[in-house]
Amino acid sequence: MKRIQKHPILEEKRGEKVKFYFNDQELFGIEGEPVSSALIANNIKIFSIHRKADSPKGIFCANGQCSNCTVIIDGIPKKSCITPLSKGMHVQTLKHLPELPPDDHRLNFSEKKEFSCDVLVVGAGPAGINAALELAKQHFSVILVDDKEHLGGKLVLQTHKFFGSIKDCYAGTRGTEIGKKLAKQVSKYDNIRVFNNSSVVGIFEDKKAGIFSNNKHYSLINFKGLVISTGAREKSLVFKGNDLPGVYGAGAFQTLVNRDMVRSSKKIFIVGSGNVGLIAAYHALQAGIQVAGICDILGNVSGYKVHADKIRRMGVPIYLNHTIISANGKNQVEKITIAKVNQNFQPVLDTAKTFKVDTLLIAAGLSPVDEFYEKACQFNFPVVKAGDADEIAEASSAMFGGRIAGLEMANKLGKNIEIDQSYHKKVEILKSEPGDVYPKQEIELKSKFQPVIHCVEEIPCNPCTSVCPNNAIQLVNNKRNLTDVPEFYGECSGCTLCVAVCPGLAITLAKKLNNKYAEIILPHEFQPNFKQGDHISLTDRQGNFLEKGKVLKIRQNKKYKTWLINVKTTLQNATEIAGIRVQEESITEPLDETDFSYIPNEGIVCQCEMISAGEIIDYIKSHKVRDVNQLKQIRVGMGACGGNTCSTLLPRIFKKAGVEWSEVKKGTKRPLTREVPMFAIINEKVVNDNE
C-alpha cells in the first residue's frame, strides 16, 4: 500500500485497518477515510469507464465537486471522495451508466429534525470560523456547518508556515496548527453549534437550509441570517488528455497527501506558478514524491517570489512562458508535454518538451463557490459572504475578512456596531499582490553570526521582525506597511529564531571562520538524509548550484518544526548560499523524444458527459447559441457534478466560438448541490432539536 510512513511535519495517519473489496479483490484501508483514498493507497487510479469511447476516469477534485471519482459502493453509485470506508464494503468500477439495484421493499420514514439559530455560517474555513466567533461574541446563536471532519477548511492541508503578521493572523505558524487553534476557540463558545461531516445542500425561500449529515441524515435549519464562506473550486483546463486518470486538481493532491497521508504519485508535473502550484510542489517533495517541474503561460511567477525561490532551491525548475500541450498514456497519465508560447499565447510546437510522470496537477486558479449567496440575495435574505467565496486571496486575509463579515451580519440583524476600519486596511494589505523587487542587502561577514536575508520582494510578512530578541531585523520604510522587505541592522545574538520562523525559508545565518571559509546555518523542512561530516549540494536563492558544503551540525527547532543545518562553506559563496538541493537535476530532465499531437479541440470541457471543446464550439456556431441552457441539448452541464467543472470553462469556449460572454444568458443552477438519498428525505414526523 502507498502510505506516507514518514513525514517531516505530519504524523502518520492512524486508524483501524479494515478489509474491503474492489472488483472482488480483497484490499485493506483505514476505516472512515474516503473510499477514493483507500483505492489510491492500493494503487488503483481508474474508478470508472465512461460510456463514451470506454474512456477511463479517475479522481480530480477530491472534494465532492465533480463526479470523476464515482464508483459502485454496495450496489449504489456514489462519489468515492466523500464516502467513508467501512469494514466489508464492496466497491466496483462504474462501467458506463449504473443499473438501478433490484430493490422493491418499502422505505422506512426518516426522522426529520429541525434546528434553529440566529445565523447559519456555511463553511468552517478561516473566514467562516472567524465570522462565527465575532457573532458569538455579540451573543447570537450560531450554527457552523462544514462538510469535513475537522474545522479549518484548507488550513488542514497546509504544512507550510504562513505569511502575514504574527499578531494578526498567526504568521510563522503552519496552516495545520492554525486550524487547530481556531477550532479550539470555537469550542469555548456555548452559542456556537458545530455540524461537521455535514453539507448544506439547499437554501429555501422560507428561510430554511437543508443539510445532509454523515451520509445518513437530512435535516432543516431555520435561520435569520446567512454567512456564506464556502471557499472555492479548482478550475480545469482544456487540452488533449485532460480527462486521463492522473490529472488532478492541486487541492485534490494536497488532500490525498497531507490529510489522508497517501503517496498518490511517484513523479508529478504542475501547471500554474501561483502560490497553490508552488506549495503543491513543496508538499510533494515533503511526501517523498518527485517533481519534474512547474510551467506557467505567463512570463513571471504568479505567486510569492520567496515560494518560487525555495522551490527552485529544492531542485524544481519553473518554465515560464510555457503551456501544457497534452497528457499522454494508455489508461492513465504516463507522459506530459509542454511548449513555449508566443506573444499571442499560442504554443510554439518546435520548443516542446516531454516529461515522464504519472501525475499532472492543475493549479490554474480558483472559482468562488458562491451559489448560496446568489440564492439568498434572490430571496432577499440578510446575507454576507467571506473568504474565497467572496474573493480569492490568502487565508491570512480570509481571517480578517471573516471577522468583518461576522460584524456586518450582526449589524444586518439589528446591532449597531462600528467596525474597526483597521480591519479593512489589514485585509487589503494581506491580500495584496507581490510588489517591487529590491537588490539583496549586502552583508560583510564577521566572526559572529548575523542574518543574511534572501527575501527581496514586497509581500505581507513580518515574522522575522517579530521574533528577533534584539529588534535587529526591521522592515524598510518604502511602502510603510507590512509589505516592506526586511533588512538587518544592529547586533545578532545568533539565536536562529529568524531562520526557523521564516515562511519562505529565506533567511540564513553566516559568520566568517577565516579568510577562506565560513559557517552558515540553513533552514531545512525535510527529514535530513545526510549526517554530520557529509558534503551536501548548496544553491543560491534561485536554485543555481554553488558548491558542496560540509555538514557541521544538525538540530531541530521543535516549536517551528524546522531543521537547522550548520554547514562549512567557502567565504566567497557564504552570503549567496540560500538552500539545500532536495532532488537531483536528473529527475527533472525531459525525455529525448517529444510525445504529442496538438489538437486542442479534443480537450474535454464537460468531464461528466465527455463533451469536447470542438463539439461545443461547433454547436454554438451552428445553432447560434446565446443561452448556456441550450447546451444541455448536447448534455453539457447535465452530469453528476451539476455543471461545477465545465461552467468555469464556458466563457473561453464561447469566446473561441466568436461569442462574447456578456451576450450569453447564464445556466440555471440545480436546486440541490449534492446528492441526497431518498431514504434520508422521505419523512413525515418533524422533531425540533435545539438543545
- pLDDT tens, 362-393? 999 899 999 999 999 999 999 999 999 999 88
Give CA–CA dist 688/676, Å, rounded. Answer: 21
In the numeric block, the cell 518538451 is attached to 353
Let me know whether 84 and 209 are in one domain.
Answer: no
Model pLDDT, residue 686:
53
Within-domain flag for 673: no
Let me know whether 533 and 617 are in one domain.
Answer: no
Let me know whether 510 and 565 are in one domain.
Answer: yes
Let me know whether 347 and 374 are in one domain.
Answer: no
Within-domain flag for 669: no
- pLDDT tens, 11-59? 988 899 999 999 999 999 999 999 999 999 999 999 999 999 899 999 9
Model pLDDT, residue 109:
66
Mind spelling out the 3-state secondary structure of 330-372? CCCCCEEEEEEECCCCCECHHHCEEEECCEEEECCCEEECCHH
Let me know whether 214 and 239 are in one domain.
Answer: no
Nearest-Å Rg of the Cα atoms of the chain is 26
Within-domain flag for 161: yes
> Would you say 280 and 250 are in contact if contact means Cβ atoms under 8 Å apart?
yes
Let me know whether 298 and 354 are in one domain.
Answer: yes
Determine phi and psi for 683, rounding to 5 degrees. Answer: -155, 160
Question: Any bridge partners for residue 25, and if so which?
Answer: 22
Model pLDDT, residue 676:
82
Sort strands 604-606 and 611-612 into parallel, antiparallel or unpaired: antiparallel
Task: Find the CATH number of the domain harbouring 77.
Answer: 3.50.50.60
Mean model confidence pLDDT for the chain: 93
Give CA–CA dist 683/216, Å, rounded. Answer: 13
Element (H, E) at 75: none
Let me know whether 551 and 570 are in one domain.
Answer: yes
Q: For residue 688, what pLDDT band results from cuts at 50, 70 and 90?
A: low
Q: For residue 105, what pLDDT band results from cuts at 50, 70 and 90?
A: confident
Let me know whether 221 and 244 are in one domain.
Answer: no
Q: For residue 685, what pLDDT band results from cuts at 50, 70 and 90?
A: low
Cα-Cα-Cα-Cα dihedral sign, residues 76, 82, 86, 91: positive
Tell me the pTM. Answer: 0.93
Determine phi and psi for 448, rounding to 5 degrees. Answer: -110, 150
pLDDT, mean of residues 657-663: 94
Let me know whether 505 and 628 are in one domain.
Answer: no
Within-domain flag for 316: yes
Within-domain flag for 438: no
Of 347, 362, 377, the residue at which a domain comes to its end is 362
Within-domain flag for 672: no
- pLDDT tens, 516-531? 999 999 999 999 999 9
For residue 304, pLDDT over 80 is answered with: yes
Task: Report how many domains make up the chain.
Answer: 4
Model pLDDT, residue 563:
97
Of 562, 588, 614, the residue at which a domain comes to its end is 588
In the numeric block, the cell 487541492 is attached to 251
For residue 150, pLDDT over 90 is answered with: yes
Give me 502's grid cell.
Answer: 521564516
Within-domain flag for 218: yes
Closest by Cα among 289, 244, 294, 292 to 262? 289
Of 588, 617, 647, the residue at which a domain comes to its end is 588
Print the domain residue range for 486.
Answer: 450-588
Question: Any bridge partners for residue 356, and if so which?
Answer: 335
Mind spelling out the 3-state secondary structure of 548-562? EEEEEEEEEECCCCE
- pLDDT tens, 427-452? 999 999 999 999 999 999 999 999 99
Question: Interior CA angle at 242 toward 237 and 245, to 5°?
Answer: 135
Let me know whether 201 and 227 are in one domain.
Answer: yes
In the numeric block, the cell 518527485 is attached to 290
Give CA–CA dist 218/360, Å, rounded. Answer: 37
For residue 477, pLDDT over 90 is answered with: no
Within-domain flag for 398: yes
Q: For residue 215, what pLDDT band results from cuts at 50, 70 and 90?
A: confident
Let me know whether 190 and 246 are in one domain.
Answer: no
Ranges of H-type helices in 255-394: 275-286, 305-313, 371-378
Let me know whether 459 and 550 are in one domain.
Answer: yes
